Amino acid sequence: MQFETLAIHDGQTPDPVTGSVTFPVFQSSTFEREDLNHHREFFYSRIGNPTRKALESSLALLENARFGLAFASGVAATMAALQVVRPGDHIVSGIDIYGGTYRIFEQLLRPWGVSITYAEDESTEGYEACIRPETRLIWLESPSNPLLRISDIRALSVAAKRNGILIAVDNTFASPYFQHPLEHGADIVVHSTTKYLGGHSDVIGGAVVLDDEALHRTIKNYQAAAGAIPGPWDCWLVMRGLKTLKIRMKEHEANAMHLARLLEKHPAVEQVLYPGLPSHPQHELAKRQMSGFGGMLTFALKGGLPAVENLVGRLKLFALADSLGGVESLVASPAKMTLGALSAEERLKRGCSDNLVRMSIGLEHAGDLEADLLGALSPP
């Protein structure tokens, strides 16, 4: 079956008791046991819940995977995926990563005895140069946040397997509609379901998707023991979002491409970072690795931070907000918001200059978004 059919039907079959075509919300913390020696499939919702199981099945199917696990947030999913490392292990990560992941690396894993090297050269050779004998995991974001860099997942997976290293890919920006990292050799895929999978800015959640049974057992055990699981209503909201994922992603991409082309010609803009543009340094790789380029758009303004402050203050349709992937368009300053906790020196090292603007392009009419953006960019 095709993607949109799977998104609507598989994992979300009609309720066998009532015939409801919408999968029920099982708002129960516990389930009756048969007797002292036997329990049904579900007995306590931290361990398993029917609504969560339906979501996890859907997530696995959309990533063409065997196993899906749902979590209470994207960072909870990230922390769960990182249970594959132990004190003394080493991680190689891209240098352009989500601030929440950076905090996990620096504030949680380093004190635990895990070392991290950030590949400043994000080519395959750049990652390979960072590998040590104790390297256990390579962590990728592709496209990355906020610079929308593309990593060659297949080439890095070959290099990782050669060295006995696992590959984890944060696939949040692309979504399963535009990219399947497991098919390129990755071992673990992570999502913030808060973003495109939920799609309506009304739920917080995360997911880990994978094929390997032993890895699944490790992360599943962590899920049950640590308990950072989503409630059934949150699972239901993400399942609702999955049903329209194809339609939304295509419209996000169409609007983003329209605005990227517009911005590339604008005299107030220094640079546009969007994988769908031929000017993007990894455009050809993105075309090979992805089936579309997504709805995230980053650009640099002439005039530095004052120009950014002027832009966000004049925009009407773009809300100044920290998240992304919803139906509404959002704008953020990476230097002041998503990476604001880093020092100026650290941000510059990561390519995050003060004049960067990150936009999550929503589903409004492209002409209305264009008019709002051009109006905000025009001289005061």
Using 50, 70 and 90 to split pLDDT, how confident is the model at 12?
A: low
pLDDT at 107 over 90: yes
What is the reported pLDDT for 352? 82
State how far the alpha carbon of 101 is from the alpha carbons of 78, 195, 261, 323, 329, in Å. 7, 15, 31, 15, 24
H helices present in the chain, as ranges: 3-8, 50-62, 74-81, 99-103, 110-112, 124-128, 153-162, 175-178, 213-226, 232-242, 245-264, 283-289, 304-314, 344-349, 366-377
H or E, element range at 356: strand 356-360
Q: Give the C-alpha separation, 42 to 361, whole Å.
A: 40
What is the reported pLDDT for 356? 95
> Which among 10, 44, 46, 287 is annotated as catalytic?
46
For residue 176, whether the previous peptide bond is cis, meaning omega lies within 30 degrees of 0, is: no
Q: Which of residues 72 and 34 earns the better pLDDT score?
A: 72
Mean pLDDT value across residues 363-374: 98
Q: Would strands 90-94 and 115-119 be described as parallel, antiparallel, or unpaired?
A: parallel
Mean pLDDT value across residues 8-21: 72
Using 50, 70 and 90 to split pLDDT, how confident is the model at 351?
A: confident
pLDDT at 37 over 90: no
What is the reported pLDDT for 10? 61
pLDDT at 102 over 70: yes
Using 50, 70 and 90 to split pLDDT, how confident is the model at 336?
A: confident
- Give the range among 17-26, 218-227, 257-266, 309-318 with minimum mean pLDDT: 17-26
pTM of the model: 0.94
Mean pLDDT value across residues 112-127: 94
What is the reported pLDDT for 139? 98
pLDDT at 353 over 90: no
10 is catalytic: no
- What one-letter code names the amino acid at 225? A
Place of tokens 């931070």: 305
Query: What CATH topology corresponds to 246-377?
Result: Aspartate Aminotransferase, domain 1 (3.90.1150)
- Give the range among 2-11, 114-123, 126-135 with minimum mean pLDDT: 2-11
Q: Which of residues 253 and 13 earns the better pLDDT score?
A: 253
Q: What is the mean pLDDT of the chain?
A: 94
What is the reported pLDDT for 225? 96
What is the reported pLDDT for 345? 78
Using 50, 70 and 90 to split pLDDT, how confident is the model at 125?
A: very high
What is the reported pLDDT for 5? 74
177 is catalytic: no
Query: What CATH topology corresponds to 3-242?
Result: Aspartate Aminotransferase; domain 2 (3.40.640)
Using 50, 70 and 90 to split pLDDT, how confident is the model at 312?
A: very high
Q: Residue 362 CB: number of other CB atoms within 10 A?
A: 23
What is the reported pLDDT for 121? 86
Mean pLDDT value across residues 206-218: 97
Q: Let me know: does 205 contact 70? Beta carbons within 8 Å.
A: yes
> Which among 170, 187, 234, 354 is annotated as catalytic?
170
What burial class does residue 85 get, using C-beta atoms within 10 Å of its C-beta: 0-12 exposed, 13-18 middle, 19+ buried?
A: buried
pLDDT at 8 over 80: no
- What one-letter code names the amino acid at 134? E
Mean pLDDT value across residues 186-205: 98
> Which among 149, 154, 195, 350 is annotated as catalytic?
195
Q: Could you tell me the two tokens for 252?
A: 């996000």
Place of tokens 């132990």: 86
187 is catalytic: no
196 is catalytic: no
Q: Give the C-alpha separation, 44 to 39, whole Å.
A: 10
Using 50, 70 and 90 to split pLDDT, how confident is the model at 368?
A: very high
Q: Give the C-alpha separation, 22 to 295, whole Å.
A: 28
What burial class does residue 35 get, using C-beta atoms within 10 Å of its C-beta: 0-12 exposed, 13-18 middle, 19+ buried?
A: exposed
For the packed helices 74-81 and 213-226, what is the interaxial angle rounded to 10 degrees? 130
Per-residue pLDDT tens for 164-180? 999 999 999 999 999 99
Per-residue pLDDT tens for 225-253? 999 999 999 999 999 999 999 999 999 99
Dihedral over alpha carbons 62, 65, 67, 73 (to 10 degrees): -50
Domain extents for the chain? 3-242, 246-377
36: number of CA atoms within 13 Å, CB side?
A: 0
Q: Could you tell me the two tokens for 280?
A: 């993007």
pLDDT at 11 over 70: no
